[in-house]
Amino acid sequence: MACLAPAEELEIFRRPLHSDASTRVSAKGRASQLAHSGDEELVALAQQGDRRAFEELIERHEQKAYHIAFGFARDREEAKDLSQEAFLKAFSYLKKFDGRSSFYTWFYRIVVNVCLDYKRRAKRTAAGEFDETIESQMEPSHNPARPLAPEQHVLAGQLSRKVAVALQALPAKQRTAFILKNNQGMSVREIAETMETAEGTVKVHLHRAVTALRQSLAELA
Amino acid sequence: MVGQNGTTPCADLEADLVLLHYGDLDDNARARLQSHSANCAGCSAYLTELAALLPLTVTTDAPPQEFWMDYNRELRHKIDAALESKSGWRSLTAIFTPRYVPVFATAAVVVLALTITFGNRLWSGKQGASDDELSQALPVAENLEFFRAMDVLENLDLLKVMGDGIKDAA
């Protein structure tokens, strides 16, 4: 799975944070302190071996990481595994994070790379096969307050399948730009930072992705 | 940019229209494009199409609270497992640290020297002839047997001659 960093980079996290009763008393205060710290502070603490600080980072970013992964995998379990793998990689490489970009940019780059690797592996093994069990878990954007009627559910399933196939057919960079924009609502600048490319390039990827999807899904519009 | 027939957007504005749909244009660009779209049937239709199509491609998932509890627990276990496996690796690789290298080198030299010294003695007695040597020796051995047989025959002849001589003498 994840290729991990040298042992000493992980070893710092083995140090217990709250080893005795006196420190346990202040655990609540510390949790509150961490909750109010910025990402940069938490990263700095985690780099010094503070595992609780890293767990705070997990709590902050787990939902977004999961949803990015879900955009790629379109499967709950896969998305869980992929986002967790991304956290493990971030955990292992945290010492190498130099703060040139923000933590979330750096971390979401890891998430995207893990997802693209997964897609490459999936392509090799399943050759673009679409799993019906995945379809059953997917619900295209709709108002959750209004449950779908049975026939609408069938249509939603068919739509999901077509969208999945259309997305699958996109080149990796176009798919990434599209998912980060369309599913996550990230700005072009954030996407550019995450993909380590120019904003103009992201615009081109996005436009091409939308054009391709428009052609693939023309009859649904 | 101008002269669209009402079904296709202006080619040079298409990428910006996508950003306009997502609300990712600065104020000036947005105002300019909105003003253009109001008077351009192609761009206006394109925006309407994007508004109808793109929300269909968003797939949402809202796992229950238990999912997130499992998620966190599982992730903590994975982190612990990563720490454990790295710890195991570390203890294994620790023996190859530079301070132990001279010890290993000395031990290797001693073992090699002992092997060369005693190995020859022990093995020389046990070691059989090689195939080449055997293939060369076998014909010679067969020849020896032949000559021995010849010697016996000659001896028989000699005995016969001697026997004849005794008979004649008698």
Give B37-78 pLDDT, tens digit per residue: 999 999 999 999 999 999 988 887 899 999 999 999 999 999
Distances (CA, A) of A148 to A116, A139, A207: 32, 10, 31
Give the tokens for residue A62: 């787990």
Residues of A whose CB is below 8 A from B76: 55
Instruction: Write down the pLDDT at residue A31.
Output: 76
Mean pLDDT of the B18-24 span: 96
Instruction: Write down the pLDDT at residue B166.
Output: 77
Mean pLDDT of the A9-37 span: 62
On whether any CB of chain B is under 8 Å from the CB of A96, the answer is no
Instruction: Write down the pLDDT at residue B97.
Output: 63
What was the ipTM of the complex prediction? 0.73
Which of A9-13, A215-219, B77-81 reaches the highest mean pLDDT? B77-81
pLDDT over 90 at A208, yes or no: yes
Mean pLDDT of the B15-30 span: 95
Decide if A7 and B93 are in contact by the 8 Å CB cutoff. yes
**Range in A36-40, B103-107, B128-132 with the lowest mean pLDDT:** B128-132
Decide if B57 and A211 are in contact by the 8 Å CB cutoff. no
**What is the rounded average pLDDT for all residues in chain B?**
81
Higher pLDDT residue, A161 or A107?
Answer: A107
Decide if B75 and A210 are in contact by the 8 Å CB cutoff. no
Instruction: Write down the pLDDT at residue A137.
Output: 44
Instruction: Write down the pLDDT at residue A23.
Output: 54
Q: Tell me, what DSSP letter sits at residue B23?
A: T
**Range in A143-152, A158-167, B6-15, B145-154 with the lowest mean pLDDT:** A143-152
* A57 and A39 Cβ atoms separated by less than 8 Å: yes
pLDDT over 60 at B88, yes or no: yes
CA distance B15 to B33: 11
Which of B49, B58, B79 shows the shortest C-beta gap to A140? B58
List A140's β-bridge partners, or say none.
B59
Band the pLDDT of A21: cuts 50, 70, 90.
Answer: low
Question: Would you kindly state where each structural domain of chain A is located, as residue ranges?
Answer: 1-13+29-128, 152-221
On whether any CB of chain A is under 8 Å from the CB of B140, the answer is no
Q: What is this structure's pTM?
A: 0.66
Residue A155, C-beta contacts closer than 8 angstroms, at least 6 positions apart: none
CA distance A173 to A16: 42
Residue B105, C-beta contacts closer than 8 angstroms, at least 6 positions apart: none
Candidates A121, A46, A115, A119; CA nearest to A85 is A115
CATH class of A1-13+29-128: mainly alpha
CA distance B113 to A94: 49
In chain A, pLDDT over 90 holds for what percent of residues? 50
Band the pLDDT of A4: cuts 50, 70, 90.
Answer: very low
Please name the residues between 54 and 93 in chain B that touch chain A, using a CB distance below 8 Å.
54-63, 67-68, 71-72, 74-76, 78-79, 82-83, 85-87, 89-90, 93
Q: What is the dihedral of CA B74, A185, A209, B10, to 10 degrees?
A: 180
**Range in A66-80, A125-139, B90-104 with the lowest mean pLDDT:** A125-139
The 3 state secondary structure assigned to chain A is: CCCCCCHHHHHHHHCCCCCCHHHHHCHHHHHHHHHCCCHHHHHHHHHCCCHHHHHHHHHHHHHHHHHHHHHHHCCHHHHHHHHHHHHHHHHHHHHHCCCCCCHHHHHHHHHHHHHHHHHHHHHHHHCCCCCHHHHHHCEECCCCCCCCCHHHHHHHHHHHHHHHHHHHHCCHHHHHHHHHHHCCCCCHHHHHHHHCCCHHHHHHHHHHHHHHHHHHCHHHC
- CATH code reported for the domain at A152-221: 1.10.10.10
Band the pLDDT of A138: cuts 50, 70, 90.
Answer: very low
Residue B39, C-beta contacts closer than 8 angstroms, at least 6 positions apart: none
Residue A162, C-beta contacts closer than 8 angstroms, at least 6 positions apart: A216, A217, A220
The helix/strand/coil state of B125 is helix
Q: pLDDT tens for residues A47-89?
A: 998 889 999 999 999 999 999 999 999 899 999 999 999 999 9
